[in-house]
Amino acid sequence: MGYSVLFVCLGNICRSPLAEAAFREEARRLKLDVVIDSAGTGGWHVGDPPDPRAQAVARRNGVDISALRGRQVKPADFRRFTHIVALDEDNLANLRRLAPPDTTADLSLLLDHVEGREGQAVADPYFGDDDGFDVTWTDVTAGAQGLAAALRSLKA
């Protein structure tokens, strides 16, 4: 069975595109065959590129996210993706409310996949200084590594 992962934050212009990018890099490194996307629970930024500060931190880490565009979570996502990974508890709660009765996706927080960080949120850097995006990149990278390792072990 193939895996598919959807990363979800509020607007899909900061944390979730960074998580998508970090996970793409880790999946590539581990040679995992997995479908990867990101979305927001809100629709304010549908069609918008990631925040310029998110693009900058990704670029500093060797990843180009400029082609990504914001989108909103859809009911079909709960059947299309095997894993829907929220970046904070509020978005996880929203996902649980939005999930149709026939959902097949496993819902989790990204940092649940990092030993000792279970239940923690990836901080939202949107209203802070640029250095908050570096903290977010560190968090999503750790979460991506943990999630990829877990999916790899399930395939073994």
Q: What one-letter code names the amino acid at 3?
A: Y
Parallel, antiparallel, or unpaired for β 106-109 and 83-86?
parallel
Which residues, 6+ apart, have CB-to-CB distance to 117 below 8 Å? 111, 142, 143
Active-site residue list: 9, 15, 124
The 10 Å Cβ neighbour count of residue 129 is 9
3-state secondary structure 86-102: ECCHHHHHHHHHHCCCC
Q: Tell me which residue of 73, 145, 87, 77 sits closest to 115, measured CA to CA.
A: 145
